């Protein structure tokens, strides 16, 4: 089946979907992005993803290229043209194409807008979640504004590859005080020995995940106790359960951290329940 991408106002066959070499996304990672889960062809939590997108654009001073409503139409069209039932849709907005100069280009330069979608394999994801994943820890060497969802992801790329090279699936970033910030492309959680759920407070040192926000709603509605605070790697090693959250994985149990078995080495009941219940709390567009 042919794939289509949206590029600056046009829906193009994938092979024709191209960006200029002087695009600032390519030259400087001068762009932001969003990723939404798609279920039964519908966007999950579109409203919250667009709120975060608006914030990313404001913080980077990139112009909103069109209204959220129009962007929503584009995303849905890309999902439909690619016949995505279950998958993800990506939206990237860069500061546009201009002669290479770090200073902003003039107002005549329009942002570049790209949207793509791809299917995910539900069976494979469920099988992975049923086993749980192994993660490694890596020093958090990112810049001080990772609350902005920029396309500048080189530390995340290197962290993920380091995990794979060591036979793990993902990496958790640890700051200079030994506190786990987040995963390479997900938020990190533990269930402490006293049963309290812990995830790092959201400031400029983590991305405020939309999945994280929905899981917080779910745990509060279910009367579970949650603490938004930093936790150390040592606490994580001794946790009852660990998991990570993102739009592409929803709730993914973590069963090994740096070779330490978490709990009994199997996905824990809290993570399993949150994964099962998640879409009752998410918004379906
Ligand atoms: N990543 N932290 C980081 C560094 C991320 O890149 C992501 C998402 C998250 C979770 O955010 P959300 O729940 O809104 O997906 C946390 C996406 C999925 C990606 O880069 O593909």
Q: What is the pLDDT of residues 194-249, one digit of tens each?
A: 999 999 999 999 999 999 999 999 999 988 999 999 999 999 999 999 999 999 99
* Closest C-alpha residue for ligand 1 atom 20: 185
Cα dihedral sign, 226-227-232-235? negative
Task: Report yes or no: 240 and 263 within 8 Å, Cβ to Cβ.
Answer: yes
- If you measure from the C-alpha of residue 21 to the centroid of ligand 1, how many angstroms do you get, rounded to a whole number? 26
Best CA proximity match to 137, nearest among 235, 12, 6 = 235
With pLDDT > 70 as the criterion, what percentage of the chain qualifies? 100
Q: Compute the residue count for the chain.
A: 285
Which atom of ligand 1 sits closest to the CA of residue 213? 13
Among residues 54, 149, 176, 220, the one annotated as catalytic is 149
- If you measure from the C-alpha of residue 73 to the centroid of ligand 1, how many angstroms do you get, rounded to a whole number? 22
Q: Cβ(35) to ligand 1 under 6 A?
A: yes
CA dist 284 and 212 (Å) reads 16
Best CA proximity match to 251, nearest among 232, 224, 269, 278 = 278
CA dist 96 and 24 (Å) reads 6
Q: Cβ(148) to ligand 1 under 6 A?
A: no
CA dist 112 and 94 (Å) reads 5
> Which tens digit of pLDDT belongs to each residue from 88-121?
999 999 999 999 999 999 999 999 999 999 999 9
Task: Report yes or no: 73 and 87 within 8 Å, Cβ to Cβ.
Answer: no
Q: Cβ(256) to ligand 1 under 6 A?
A: no
- If you measure from the C-alpha of residue 247 to the centroid of ligand 1, how many angstroms do you get, rounded to a whole number? 7
Q: How far is CA 79 from the centre of its chain?
A: 18
- If you measure from the C-alpha of residue 240 to the centroid of ligand 1, how many angstroms do you get, rounded to a whole number? 24
Q: Cβ(210) to ligand 1 under 6 A?
A: yes
At residue 2, the pLDDT reads 80
- Is 18 a residue of the active site? no
Q: Cβ(200) to ligand 1 under 6 A?
A: no
pLDDT at 72 over 70: yes
């Amino acid at each position: 089946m042919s794939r289509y991408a949206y590029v600056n106002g046009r829906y193009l066959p994938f092979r024709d979907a191209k960006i200029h070499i002087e695009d600032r996304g390519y030259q400087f990672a001068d762009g932001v992005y969003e990723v939404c889960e798609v279920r039964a062809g519908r966007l999950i939590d579109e409203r919250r993803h667009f709120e975060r997108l608006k914030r990313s654009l404001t913080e980077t001073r990139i112009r909103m290229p069109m209204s959220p409503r129009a962007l929503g139409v584009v995303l849905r069209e890309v999902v439909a043209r690619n016949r995505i039932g279950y998958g993800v849709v990506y939206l990237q907005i860069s500061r546009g194409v201009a002669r290479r100069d770090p200073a902003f280009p003039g107002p005549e330069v329009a942002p570049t807008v790209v949207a793509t979608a791809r299917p995910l394999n539900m069976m494979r994801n469920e099988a992975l979640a049923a086993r749980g994943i192994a993660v490694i820890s890596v020093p958090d060497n990112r810049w001080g504004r990772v609350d902005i969802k920029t396309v500048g992801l080189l530390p995340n790329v290197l962290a993920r590859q380091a995990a794979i090279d060591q036979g793990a699936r993902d990496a958790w970033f640890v700051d200079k005080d030994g506190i786990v910030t987040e995963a390479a492309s997900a938020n990190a959680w533990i269930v402490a020995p006293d049963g309290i759920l812990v995830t790092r407070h959201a400031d400029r040192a983590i991305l405020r995940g939309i999945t994280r926000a929905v899981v917080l709603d779910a745990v509060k509605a279910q009367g579970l106790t949650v603490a938004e605070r930093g936790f150390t790697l040592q606490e994580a090693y001794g946790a009852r359960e660990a998991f990570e959250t993102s739009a592409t994985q929803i709730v993914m149990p973590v069963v090994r951290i740096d070779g330490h078995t978490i709990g009994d080495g199997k996905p824990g009941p809290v993570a399993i329940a949150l994964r099962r219940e998640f879409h009752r709390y998410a918004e379906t567009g």
